[in-house]
Chain A
Amino acid sequence: MNMPNAAAAGAGIVFDDEFLRKLERLELLARKMFRGLLRGEHATPRRGRGLEFSDFRHYRPGDDFRHIDWNVYSRLDQLFLKLHASEEDLTLHLVVDASASMRFGMPSKFDHARKLAAALACIALHNLDRVGVGAFAASLGASLPPIKARHHMSRLLEFLGDLPCAGESCFGTALREFTARTRNPGLAILISDLLGAEDVEDGIEALLYSGHEVAVIQVLAEEEIDPPLDGALRLVDAESGRELDVTVDRELRRLYRLQLDRRLQRIESFCRRRGVEYLRASTAIAFEDVVLKYLRQGAHLR
């Protein structure tokens, strides 16, 4: 079944049919098992209502008679209950950084992040999973509660398209607020440039503590990786508005890249230690490639 083309409802987020067909062939994976709300296609810790046999156990008063294995009773003269593995839906939490620094780049990192989020949401909805979206800057901003039906895709795209992008980022505060509002943990994918605030690790820790399986997609603009700056400049911080007078030369650009590398390595190293899947995505790479090539190389997309 093809999904409706999002161009109509997506406020600028347009996926062509070919890309959509490719997305429909993908499936989200979670290493952990989560208790779903409705039946779905993901294994859960709950037993009983699935089709696939799981185990036997002794009958206890109150158990459903329909699950007693009468063949075993005829042979052993004991009541055993036949257990089946339960398959329930997965909740995908898309946590999108909407701070002012995400406006940076051509195309902007925010556009890139929204398209990535939309693509992941498409995959999840196609697989009968639930998808929720939360945008944050200094605190948690607009959020979309988890939705399941595929026909809600246009609503989700509209939500993403209308997200504002402003303010300073504060990962610790915003993500703690997000986890407080989220009832059922699931796969949380943080899409952010992870720049500006220094409390990135605090925010990721907050997601992990609340039981989420976390994946991080760091979106960077090509202008950030290799800034085309030179000469006497007054740099203005996109988030705080702070100004910094610098005379940029080759040596300073080298030192900037060194600082950026240190920061990226710090975050990547942290994610590896905490079992968080980490992917770095440049805006120079088409988001379709990011989804179809790079994300599939990870553990959460099949």
Chain B
Amino acid sequence: MIQFAYPLALLSLVAIPILLALHLLRPRRRRVVVSTTTLWQAALREREHAHGFRRLLRNLSLVLLLAAALALGLALAGPQWPASASAAGDAVLVLDVSASMKTRSGLAMTRFDQALAEAARLIDGLPRDGRMLVMTSGRKAVLRTGFESDREPLRRALAELRPGDEAGRPREALDLALSLLRGRSQGRVYFLTDGAYESSVDPGSPQVEFRMVGGPARNAAITRFDFRQELSGEDRFQVLMTVKNYTDAPVVAPASASLDGRVLFRRSIELAPRGEQTLVLAFPGRALGQAAARIDVDDALAADNQAFAAVNAHERLRVLLLTKGNFYLESLLQALPGVELFKTASASVADIAQLARSHDVVVFDGIPAPRLPPGNFLLVNTVAPGLPFADTGRAARPDALRRGRSALMRDVDLAAVRIDEARIVVTEAPSKALQRLFWSPETDLALALLHDDVKLVYLGFDLARSNFPLQAAFPMFMSQSLEWLRPRGDGFLSAHVAAGSTRAINVPAGESSVIVRGPSGSAWTLEAKDGTAHFEGTADAGIYRYAIGDTERTFAVSLTDARESDVNGRWRPRERQEEARPAGGGRQALVPLWPWLLAAALMLLTLEWCVWTGSRNHA
């Protein structure tokens, strides 16, 4: 927007009507008497009919005079052009590479294409003594160049950029950009974004200039896709899918989900304006393999019309056994396939939380357990404080064992089980979170608890003082308990991460690296440290594969982010500028335009003089 240093000088434009009047009064035409003007009039009509634009040329002199007066008047008003792109000082160019930047905007263009074009303009406008740094803002902020005064490396960096399938976290990138400019008073951050996020990401700094791209767009998206096992059935699973409509019109979205090529369902979902629907559908059989969900709608953002999951991938279960020695338990855990056993005699209370995070299941065998942190636990002959059941005594030789219908008790035959002594536990109140597995008239002998962040199986007697370990029921019970305790979060079976986030891969002892292959075939070799490799190349949605030893494993990367898919829920930078920019505190470099206008006025006056002189000579 052009600003005027001296707006009152615009009053000089009054000269234009005066010039017009003078022009009309100027006796410039020679009077010539002719016998008749009829023929001249007819000739004029014919010429004007054939060359309408020449009408303007008849008054070329006047037009030039008026244009000169306009240019002079504007020059007096001191117009200034806010040339922010050419402002001296360092600049940080932040490009939004979140999934919403893939939204179509115009013909064969995306919001990211528009952002790239704007970025190229900013680079072109970089002053000779200015420097610029290019970084991207996705789920993480990534520096793409250092501060460069040469435009070529900046352009090369731009050419390599493309948007991912990740949800954006622009605040992190903006904070990083501002920190890079700390101490540079002339520094400026250009954030090229579509604004598909909340206004809370705005750091409120006058150094940040938002360059918005894109416009309104239609979108529907899969915002959740997961699998879980039904508690009641051992071989029954559920697929969960949430679809949301981000438009103001109803949408019919044909949706489907498949698992290893097997179609789990296919149906049309009718979505109200701005509405969402969640499908939870049970299916029998194995929940193992690569799953994909899709909605077939023609909307502006295709990235969120699909989601992926790697279901029940064979991860080795890291089990920590806290025991003073239990032959049966140790032998069984070492013998169970897919279980990696770590054993220790004791651990401090402070270490338990750390151990629970670093292991899939922690087993307390006869050792007093502290208040349990979030994690998966198997309590054998011990009770922890803070649970909905408490130890109240001992029961000798409980018999007449009864069993529940839990999946954990599948094929567990208790008929021959004899127990010498058992702990008597009292439950606080009936709860759906607490499931009785088997019991005697005196007390509950085995319980399953799914409570907040704690997942727990309780076995209320000493294995060494029973024949339970000698029965076939014991490995069955333990195997199914560990399977149930397998950490999948909220009971879901699928292994998937949000696009752009880091995936930690456990690397067994003896392996130092792991190769990960992405959905497009790209490969990354990761070095393992302390038994873990961190993979960060999850920008694209799809199934990722990696091999440890002879075993190939997979995990899925999906967008499934309701906020990122809301491509119309856009934040308005103008509001921010009005609120955040301090009065007179703009750092825009205002380029004065009056010299150009003055030069233009002089040229116009010279031209007018030539036209006028030529016309007079002709006359």
With most chain B CB atoms within 10 A of its CB, the pick from A198, A235, A236 is: A235
Question: In angstroms, how far is the closest chain B Cβ from the Cβ of A10?
Answer: 25
Determine the chain A residues whose CB is within 8 A of the CB of B44 once the complex forms.
244, 246, 252, 255
Cβ of B32 under 8 Å from chain A: yes
Cβ of B371 under 8 Å from chain A: no
Q: State whether A232 touches B34 (Cβ < 8 A).
A: no
Given known pairs A256-B39, A260-B39, the reply for A233 and B33 (CB within 8 Å) is no
Given contacts A101-B36, A255-B44, A263-B39, 14 further A-B contacts (CB under 8 A): A105-B35, A231-B618, A232-B619, A233-B30, A235-B34, A236-B34, A237-B37, A238-B36, A239-B35, A246-B40, A247-B58, A247-B615, A252-B47, A258-B43
Given known pairs A255-B46, A259-B43, the reply for A233 and B29 (CB within 8 Å) is yes
Determine the chain A residues whose CB is within 8 A of the CB of B619 once the complex forms.
230-233
Cβ of A49 under 8 Å from chain B: no
Cβ of A149 under 8 Å from chain B: no
B1-50 at interface with A (beta carbon < 8 Å): 28-44, 46-47
Kindly report which residue of chain A lies nearest to residue B28, judged by CB atoms. Answer: A232
Q: List 14 A-B contacts (CB under 8 A).
A: A105-B35, A195-B38, A195-B39, A196-B36, A227-B34, A232-B29, A233-B619, A235-B37, A236-B31, A237-B38, A244-B40, A255-B47, A260-B39, A263-B39
Question: In angstroms, how far is the closest chain A Cβ from the Cβ of B534?
Answer: 82
Cβ of A59 under 8 Å from chain B: no
Q: Using an 8 Å CB-CB cutoff, how does the interface string of A46-72 with B read, 1 for contact, 0 for none?
A: 000000000000000000000000000
B211-250 at interface with A (beta carbon < 8 Å): none
Q: State whether B47 touches A251 (Cβ < 8 A).
A: yes
The total of Cβ contacts below 8 Å across the A-B interface reads 101
Question: In angstroms, how far is the closest chain A Cβ from the Cβ of B23?
Answer: 13
A69-117 at interface with B (beta carbon < 8 Å): 101-102, 104-105, 109
Q: State whether B35 touches A224 (Cβ < 8 A).
A: yes
A224 to B39, CA, bound (A): 10
- A residues lining the B interface (CB < 8 Å): 101-102, 104-105, 109, 193, 195-196, 198, 221, 224, 227, 229-240, 242-247, 249, 251-252, 255-256, 258-260, 263
Q: State whether A234 touches B29 (Cβ < 8 A).
A: yes
Kindly report which residue of chain B lies nearest to residue A239, judged by CB atoms. Answer: B36
Q: State whether A236 touches B33 (Cβ < 8 A).
A: yes
Q: State whether A236 touches B32 (Cβ < 8 A).
A: yes
Interface size counted on chain B using CB atoms at 8 A? 25
Question: In angstroms, how far is the closest chain A Cβ from the Cβ of B613?
Answer: 11
Report whether over half of chain A's contact residues are helix, strand or loop; otherwise say mixed. mixed
Q: State whether A245 touches B29 (Cβ < 8 A).
A: yes
Q: State whether B43 touches A229 (Cβ < 8 A).
A: no
Q: State whether B31 touches A234 (Cβ < 8 A).
A: yes
A233 to B28, CA, bound (A): 8
Cβ of B121 under 8 Å from chain A: no
Question: In angstroms, how far is the closest chain B Cβ from the Cβ of A33?
Answer: 38
Question: In angstroms, how far is the closest chain B Cβ from the Cβ of A290?
Answer: 19
Kindly report which residue of chain A lies nearest to residue B60, judged by CB atoms. Answer: A247
A242 to B36, CA, bound (A): 9
Determine the chain B residues whose CB is within 8 A of the CB of A105 once the complex forms.
35
Determine the chain B residues whose CB is within 8 A of the CB of A238 once the complex forms.
33-36
Cβ of B616 under 8 Å from chain A: yes
Determine the chain B residues whose CB is within 8 A of the CB of A195 once the complex forms.
35-36, 38-39
Determine the chain B residues whose CB is within 8 A of the CB of A243 once the complex forms.
31, 37
Kindly report which residue of chain B lies nearest to residue A169, judged by CB atoms. Answer: B36
Question: In angstroms, how far is the closest chain B Cβ from the Cβ of A93?
Answer: 25
Question: In angstroms, how far is the closest chain B Cβ from the Cβ of A263?
Answer: 7
Q: State whether A229 touches B36 (Cβ < 8 A).
A: no
Given known pairs A247-B615, A255-B46, A259-B42, the reply for A229 and B32 (CB within 8 Å) is yes
- B residues lining the A interface (CB < 8 Å): 28-44, 46-47, 58, 615-619
Determine the chain B residues whose CB is within 8 A of the CB of A247 once the complex forms.
58, 615, 618
A251 to B41, CA, bound (A): 14
Q: State whether B31 touches A221 (Cβ < 8 A).
A: no
Report which of A230, A249, A259 forms a contact with B39, defined as CB distance below 8 A.
Answer: A259
Question: In angstroms, how far is the closest chain A Cβ from the Cβ of B404?
Answer: 108
Q: State whether A232 touches B615 (Cβ < 8 A).
A: yes
Determine the chain A residues whose CB is within 8 A of the CB of B31 once the complex forms.
233-234, 236, 243
Kindly report which residue of chain B lies nearest to residue A253, judged by CB atoms. Answer: B43
Question: In angstroms, how far is the closest chain B Cβ from the Cβ of A225?
Answer: 11
Given known pairs A196-B35, A236-B31, A259-B39, the reply for A230 and B618 (CB within 8 Å) is yes
Q: State whether B43 touches A237 (Cβ < 8 A).
A: no
Q: State whether B40 touches A235 (Cβ < 8 A).
A: yes
A209 to B40, CA, bound (A): 33
Given known pairs A230-B619, A233-B30, the reply for A252 and B43 (CB within 8 Å) is yes
Given known pairs A255-B47, A259-B43, the reply for A101 and B35 (CB within 8 Å) is yes
Question: In angstroms, how far is the closest chain A Cβ from the Cβ of B7?
Answer: 39
Q: State whether A104 touches B43 (Cβ < 8 A).
A: no
Q: State whether B618 touches A232 (Cβ < 8 A).
A: yes
Determine the chain A residues whose CB is within 8 A of the CB of B40 once the complex forms.
235, 244, 246, 252, 256
A247 to B34, CA, bound (A): 15
Question: In angstroms, how far is the closest chain A Cβ from the Cβ of B599?
Answer: 29
A227 to B35, CA, bound (A): 11
Question: In angstroms, how far is the closest chain A Cβ from the Cβ of B139?
Answer: 71
Q: State whether B32 touches A235 (Cβ < 8 A).
A: yes
Question: In angstroms, how far is the closest chain A Cβ from the Cβ of B55?
Answer: 11
Kindly report which residue of chain A lies nearest to residue B30, judged by CB atoms. Answer: A233
A235 to B31, CA, bound (A): 6
Report which of B33, B35, B617 forms a contact with A193, defined as CB distance below 8 A.
Answer: B35
Kindly report which residue of chain B lies nearest to residue A221, judged by CB atoms. Answer: B35
Q: State whether A231 touches B34 (Cβ < 8 A).
A: no
Kindly report which residue of chain A lies nearest to residue B617, judged by CB atoms. Answer: A231
Determine the chain A residues whose CB is within 8 A of the CB of B35 once the complex forms.
101-102, 104-105, 109, 193, 195-196, 221, 224, 238-239
Question: In angstroms, how far is the closest chain A Cβ from the Cβ of B527?
Answer: 85
Determine the chain B residues whose CB is within 8 A of the CB of A232 once the complex forms.
28-30, 615-616, 618-619
Question: In angstroms, how far is the closest chain B Cβ from the Cβ of A171?
Answer: 13
Determine the chain B residues whose CB is within 8 A of the CB of A109 once the complex forms.
35
Report which of B32, B46, B58, B617 forms a contact with A233, defined as CB distance below 8 A.
Answer: B32
With most chain A CB atoms within 10 A of its CB, the pick from B34, B37, B38, B615 is: B34
Question: In angstroms, how far is the closest chain B Cβ from the Cβ of A78?
Answer: 68
A105 to B34, CA, bound (A): 9
A195 to B30, CA, bound (A): 23
Q: State whether A104 touches B618 (Cβ < 8 A).
A: no
Determine the chain B residues whose CB is within 8 A of the CB of A230 once the complex forms.
618-619
Kindly report which residue of chain B lies nearest to residue A224, judged by CB atoms. Answer: B35
Question: In angstroms, how far is the closest chain B Cβ from the Cβ of A257?
Answer: 9
A243 to B34, CA, bound (A): 10
With most chain A CB atoms within 10 A of its CB, the pick from B37, B41, B617, B618 is: B37
Determine the chain A residues whose CB is within 8 A of the CB of B47 once the complex forms.
251-252, 255
A252 to B41, CA, bound (A): 10
Q: State whether B34 touches A237 (Cβ < 8 A).
A: yes
Question: In angstroms, how far is the closest chain B Cβ from the Cβ of A137?
Answer: 13
Q: State whether A242 touches B37 (Cβ < 8 A).
A: yes
Determine the chain B residues whose CB is within 8 A of the CB of A256 once the complex forms.
39-40, 43
Q: State whether A234 touches B34 (Cβ < 8 A).
A: no
A243 to B32, CA, bound (A): 9
Question: In angstroms, how far is the closest chain A Cβ from the Cβ of B225?
Answer: 77
Determine the chain A residues whose CB is within 8 A of the CB of B42 once the complex forms.
259
Kindly report which residue of chain B lies nearest to residue A262, judged by CB atoms. Answer: B42
Kindly report which residue of chain B lies nearest to residue A240, judged by CB atoms. Answer: B37
Determine the chain B residues whose CB is within 8 A of the CB of A242 once the complex forms.
37
